[in-house]
Amino acid sequence: MERLSGAQDLFDYITEKRRLDEREARVLMSQVIDTVIQLHEAGVVHRDIKDENIVIDVDTKQLRLVDFGSATLVRRRPFTDFDGTTSLAAQFSLHRKQDFRVEILGRKKNLNLE
């Protein structure tokens, strides 16, 4: 991946701005959701999406998802193990084996392709 000049991770971007207006937050989150859907369609699950793993070009407001160290291929059986940043994880996901699902745009989408 090329290095972007004028880019920073989303955590730093939001910290510096102190606040995003609703329109900008909507545009940025829409890019994140579109990226996750594209990854899933390509057969990849990132498994560690957080603001530090999203890089923003501050001039164009284009986002890039980075750090695929926890990524894996989509599989038909449920994911029962946790991989990612444990300090940011929901506690229930660390203590129980379960079928992990996500909600995208108000509809449940099973990432296990059952």
Query: Which residues belong to the active site?
Result: 48
Helices (H), 42-112: 91-95
The 8 Å CB, 24+ separation contacts for 63-69 are 63/10, 63/28, 63/31, 63/32, 63/35, 64/1, 64/4, 64/7, 65/32, 65/35, 65/36, 65/39, 66/1, 68/44
Three-state DSSP class for residue 43: coil
- Locate tokens 């501050």: which residue? 58
